[in-house]
Amino acid sequence: MQYLIGLPVIGFVIMFILNIILAGLLALTYTTLTKEVPIVTLEFKKLDHNKFKAFLKDKEGDDLGAYEIFGDQWQLDAGFYKMEYFANLLGIESKYTLDRFQGRYKNIDDANSKKSISYQLESNSLVENFGFFFDTTYGSSTYEDIELNTLYTVLKTPTGLMVRKQYLETKGKKVNENYFDKAKKIIGL
């Protein structure tokens, strides 16, 4: 009879421990599969109409170079070796190499007729043997409009590149305010 009373208690304790483990794995999965890692920052200086100088820095803040580009947008390309999702859970992240940086035009007619130039950033190819952790290779690219007094941060995610912008202040005055900042100003916050 004592064993029959103890079995539900033991079952409850085991289920409670399994639920804690599963909740931890769910949290680990979410953070691993949504992780964003900064890899490059960019700033621009206008040289002429549709001509800019771009200043690139790596994730440690070291200069990657200054490049003259043409257009009204910039574009950064990277090559990725994507790992299986279970490998991400084990801490093995996608590998990448920065391939190319260039200017870009919004208007396709401008893109086909106006001056452009591209720069090779890393000439080495990323070749490693990841065995059954390896999923596929692919290219990822991101582009944005060129805005002065803006710091662009390019982030590596488990599936490719993305960009976040930060508007910089000049002489105590904020430029290129986003909609949230404008709304706060209107409300008086």
Band of pLDDT at residue 32, cut at 50, 70 and 90 = low
Query: Residue 25: beta bridge partners?
Result: none
pLDDT tens digits for 75-107?
999 988 877 877 766 777 778 889 999 999 999
Global model pTM greater than 0.85: no
Name, of 96-100, 108-112, 121-125, the range with top average pLDDT: 108-112
Query: Does residue 28 or residue 10 have the better pLDDT?
Result: 10
Is the pLDDT assigned to residue 117 strictly greater than 70? yes
CA 178: distance to chain centroid?
Answer: 20
Q: How confident is the model at residue 124 (pLDDT cuts 50, 70, 90)?
A: low
